[in-house]
Structure 1
């Protein structure tokens, strides 16, 4: 059986981020939007996208995630 990590593609995650770009985006909220059960799954996927150079994560007072390019 596929895990949600395998079912939800990077492109789908990017679309959710684009839709909510500029909004306060704590990991828990993104986890809910993606349908994941675990914030650690979301955190891992975000780190993967950041390593690939597809997103930039800024943590100031609020977490904001934006798509690069």
Structure 2
């Protein structure tokens, strides 16, 4: 569970199958990050499996062509 605050701008990027991608830009820093989450409550189990798999493969991803999960 996370709380939306006024100091982060959330911009929806895309929905790919059961995963929703959101760009998060904290106002107090110059950095941004991409948040991956289940697109719906019904997709939570499938999205969790896919995200766990991507995280397990993170060392094989190149920062040149991929967004590396952290």
TM over 0.5: no
The structure whose Rg is larger is 2
RCO higher in structure (CA 8 A, sep ≥6): 1
Q: Which structure has more strand as a fraction of its residues?
A: 2
Q: Which structure has more helix as a fraction of its residues?
A: 1
TM normalised by structure 2 equals 0.34
